[in-house]
A = this chain, B = another copy of it.
Amino acid sequence: MKQGLKLAMEATNSNPTSTAAAELLCGVNAKALLDSVDAFLFDCDGVIWKGDKLIDGTPETLEMLRSMGKKLIFVTNNSTKSRFQYANKFRSLGLSVSQDEIFSSSYAAAMYLKVNQFPLEKKVYVIGGEGIVQELQLSGFTALGGPEDGEKRAQWKSNCLFEHDKDVGAVVVGLDPDINYYKLQYGTICIRENPGCLFIATNRDSVGHMTDLQEWPGAGCMVGAICGSTERKPIVVGKPSTFMMDFLLQKFNLSTYRMCMVGDRLDTDILFGQNAGCKTLLVLSGVTTKSILDDPSNKIQPDYYTSKVSDFLNFLGE
C-alpha cells in the first residue's frame, strides 16, 4: 500500500513546466503531431462539450482520428458521474464512446484504493455525488455518505456526541452540490479520529462549468473545506496528479511520449500531460482564453494550441 500512496503524493507535488511559448496548430504541425502519436487523451468539459452542449464538429473529428487508427481516451476530473453514466452522456450527445475508454476521477478514486489494496472490510465515507459511490461499489468497496446524507443535519446541543463508523478507513472528497455541515463533520471526524484514515480528493479544480454560462465552485471547494478542518493534505487522484495516467499506461500498455493530452485547462489538463511526459494541446473552447495563455503570470505552456478540437478536420483537409 505504501508505495502506491507515495507515488500519488509525489505526482501531486511534481510540477515540470515548459517555458517555450505554445505553437499555434496549423496544417504542417498538425500532421506532424498526428504522425508522432498513437493515442489522444481528451478532457471532456470545454473540449468535447460545454455543460450539456456538444462543441461543434467533435463527432466527425473523433471518427476521423479513430479511422486513422488512433486510440482515444477520455479523462475527466468531474466525479459526479460514474463511467457508466458518462457512457450514457456520450451516447445522448450522439458520440459512440465505450465505458472502457472513459477515466473519470470517481473511477480513479476507486482504482487508487484497489491498487493500494485497501481492505474490503473497511468502509469509505463519500463527500460527493453518486458517481463516486457507484464506482466504489463496482470495485467491491462499502461506501457510506454521498447523496444519502444530503438532507442530514447535525444536532447542535450540549452533551451531543456525533456517532461515526470506526471502520471508515478512507474519506473520498469530490464535487458535492449537496454539501452540508453533517457531511463535513462526518468526514472530518473520520480523518481526525480513525487511525490511519486516508483523505482522498478526486481533484482540486477551483471552479468548473456547471452551466454553459458561468463557472461555479468545483471539487477544490469541498476539498479545501476538509483541509481546513483536518489540517491534512489530500491524496489527489485526478488531474494534474499522474495517478490516473500511471494506471491507464499500465492498463493499455502505452508509451507517454506517443500520446497527446488535449484539454482546456492549463493547471490540470496541460500540467497533467506534462507531468506524464505527453505532448500537449490546449483548446480555447473552454475556460482558457488566449490572453490567459499569453499572460506573463502563466508559467504553463502547452506544445500546441488551437481554438477547438474540430480544427483537425480543416488542417487535414488542406
Q: Which residues of A contact B (CB under 8 A)?
A: 51-53, 154, 156-162, 176-181, 184-185, 188-189, 192, 204, 206-207, 210-218, 220-231
A52: chain B residues at CB < 8 Å are 158
With the chains together, A227 CA to B52 CA distance in Å?
28
Q: Helix, strand, loop or mixed for chain A's interface?
A: loop
The answer to whether B177 touches A216, judged by C-beta atoms less than 8 angstroms apart, is no
A192: chain B residues at CB < 8 Å are 207, 215
With the chains together, A23 CA to B64 CA distance in Å?
76
With the chains together, A178 CA to B189 CA distance in Å?
18
The answer to whether B221 touches A225, judged by C-beta atoms less than 8 angstroms apart, is yes
The answer to whether A188 touches B217, judged by C-beta atoms less than 8 angstroms apart, is yes
Expressed in whole angstroms, the minimum distance between the Cβ of A37 and any Cβ of chain B is 32
| The residue from B53, B212, B214, B226 contacting A224, defined by CB atoms under 8 A apart | B226
| The residue from B53, B158, B162, B228 contacting A221, defined by CB atoms under 8 A apart | B228
Q: Which residue of B lies closest to A210 (CB)?
A: B156
| The residue from B157, B212, B224 contacting A159, defined by CB atoms under 8 A apart | B212
With the chains together, A224 CA to B230 CA distance in Å?
10
The answer to whether B207 touches A229, judged by C-beta atoms less than 8 angstroms apart, is yes
The answer to whether A177 touches B188, judged by C-beta atoms less than 8 angstroms apart, is no
- A51-B158, A156-B211, A189-B216 known, 18 other contacts, Cβ within 8 Å: A158-B211, A159-B211, A159-B212, A161-B213, A162-B214, A184-B217, A185-B217, A188-B217, A188-B221, A192-B215, A204-B228, A206-B230, A207-B229, A221-B226, A221-B228, A224-B226, A224-B228, A224-B229
With the chains together, A179 CA to B176 CA distance in Å?
12
With the chains together, A198 CA to B32 CA distance in Å?
48
Q: Can you list 27 A-B contacts with CB-CB less than 8 angstroms, sorted by A residue number? A: A53-B158, A154-B177, A156-B177, A156-B210, A158-B212, A159-B213, A162-B211, A162-B214, A162-B216, A179-B179, A179-B180, A179-B225, A181-B217, A189-B214, A192-B207, A204-B228, A206-B230, A217-B229, A221-B229, A222-B228, A223-B228, A224-B225, A224-B226, A224-B227, A224-B228, A224-B229, A227-B228
A212: chain B residues at CB < 8 Å are 158-159
With the chains together, A157 CA to B210 CA distance in Å?
8
A218: chain B residues at CB < 8 Å are 229
A213: chain B residues at CB < 8 Å are 159-161
The CB with the most chain B CB atoms within 10 A, among A215, A226, A229, is that of: A229
Expressed in whole angstroms, the minimum distance between the Cβ of A200 and any Cβ of chain B is 15
With the chains together, A225 CA to B212 CA distance in Å?
23
With the chains together, A138 CA to B221 CA distance in Å?
31
A204: chain B residues at CB < 8 Å are 228
Q: Which residue of B lies closest to A162 (CB)?
A: B214
